[in-house]
Amino acid sequence: MVKVCVLGAFGGIGQPLSLLLKINPHIDELSLYDLNDCHGISKDLSHINTKSTTSGFDKNTLKDALQGSNIVVIPAGMARKEGMTRDDLFKVNANIIKTLCLHIGQTCSENVKVLIISNPVNCLVPVAIETFRKLGKLHPENIMGITTLDIVRAETFLREHLRELNNDDIDPLDHDVISVVGGHSGTTIVPIIPDKNIIKLLGSSRYKQLVHRIQFGGDEVIKAKKSSGSATLSMAYAASEFISTILLSMTHGTGICSKEQKYRYLPAYVYLPGLKNGAQLKRHLKQVAHLDVNYFAVPLKFKNGSISELDPTILTKLSQEEIELLRAAMEPLQINIKKGEKFVQNTA
Ligand code: NAD
Ligand code: LMR
């Protein structure tokens, strides 16, 4: 029996994500929680004829919502409007993530997977890790920041360029055509194209455009929505894809994402120390970027729903442009990470 709990289920991401989870055949029970009462959303979804059951909760029943969950996904919190940075969300959302993680730690089993969507992801995953550490219940293999939207965008935008070049030999959804590592904001987002012939094929101007769009895709959506909010539908899709890979590994043992019969490993933003190949990745980062960090988005392999290892090869085949992107990412990433860690260390 697999139970998935959505914290922030009433919101712009929460509602379409809950719909996608309701139609996922690997979920038996869906639990929907928000400060806004989720009974109505739950009733609506419960009429869909898939096998899972749904329950809605309100702000007084968080414990009941969490009880027995295998996966808790968190899109709770404030979203950006035009003119805001993800950093502007920190104060409000760090409090939300800390409070929710305290409840998860007190209510759920130590094997629960905690998936963070709320921004700034670069800071809030450290907030979650430090909160679980304080509780004495830290399992880094089960805590992830969802950065799948970056890879979804990278694949989409690369496809658009390849179409314009009349190239249909390369399918961006093939394993390893494009990956995205680093963090989830601006220049901390680092696209990597292992086959450097593809970078040559794109040419310098297209390549720069592609990188910029992947790094600042979130701003594009906010602008188009005319200040009503940020990406919700594409994010719900991305989170649903990521959760599917975890569910596949829970039901089939391995964690691969199946797309049109093609397979690839999805990255997520994770705490490197304590994860298999984490030390190796930190060494590579130090070698290539002259700095290292404890948190980094990197392609993952799963076993039974938990991270089993990180892809150690991802930083070994970099072009000069990619090395420069990586170097530019490190300092802002370090600042973001420290901010998240300090927040928990300095609060009761
Ligand atoms: P939204 O405002 O539409 O929804 C947020 C929901 O969270 C609301 O329903 C609100 O009531 C709820 N909420 C607030 N505090 C809560 C709490 N303590 N417990 C439970 N629920 C609570 O926002 P949205 O567009 O759904 O975005 C949500 C978050 O996801 C934002 O921080 C946004 O920046 C982030 N986001 C991340 C990515 C990513 O790639 N990781 C992509 C898009 C958006
Ligand atoms: C995104 O990349 O779309 C999200 O992180 C939301 C945002 O604030 O841009």
**Average pLDDT rounded to a whole number, residues 155-172:** 94
Amino acid letter, residue 72: V
Q: Confidence band (pLDDT; 50, 70, 90) for 65?
A: very high
Residue 257 has pLDDT above 80, yes or no: no
Q: Which ligand is nearest to the CA of 232?
A: 1
**Average pLDDT rounded to a whole number, residues 252-280:** 74
Query: What pLDDT, on a 0 to 100 scale, did the predictor assign at position 256?
Result: 52
3-state secondary structure of 139: coil
Cβ atoms of 19 and 45 within 8 Å: the answer is yes
DSSP 274: T
User: What ligand 2 atom has the least distance to the C-alpha of 149?
Assistant: 2
Q: Which ligand is nearest to the CA of 224?
A: 2
User: What ligand 1 atom has the least distance to the C-alpha of 116?
Assistant: 41
Question: How many angstroms is it from 169 CA to the middle of ligand 2?
Answer: 31
Question: How many angstroms is it from 222 CA to the middle of ligand 2?
Answer: 8
- CA-proximal residue: ligand 1, atom 18 (nearest): 96
Question: How many angstroms is it from 102 CA to the middle of ligand 1?
Answer: 18
Amino acid letter, residue 281: L
Six-digit token string for 26: 């690997």
Residues with Cβ within 8 Å of 99's Cβ and at least 6 positions away in sequence, in order, are none
DSSP 135: H
The number of beta carbons lying within 10 Å of the beta carbon of residue 252 is 11
- Report the residue among 230, 232, 233, 270 best suited for mutation to probe ligand 1: largest number of ligand atoms under 8 A from its CB: 230
Q: Is the peptide bond before 332 cis (omega within 30 degrees of 0)?
A: no
User: What ligand 1 atom has the least distance to the C-alpha of 230?
Assistant: 25
Tens-place pLDDT, residues 14-47:
999 999 999 999 999 999 999 999 999 999 999 9
Q: Which ligand is nearest to the CA of 146?
A: 1
User: What ligand 1 atom has the least distance to the C-alpha of 9?
Assistant: 9
Tens-place pLDDT, residues 310-336:
988 889 889 999 999 999 999 999 999
Question: How many angstroms is it from 238 CA to the middle of ligand 1?
Answer: 15
Average pLDDT, the chain: 94
- CA-proximal residue: ligand 2, atom 1 (nearest): 218
The verdict on pTM exceeding 0.80 is yes
Positions marked active-site: 184
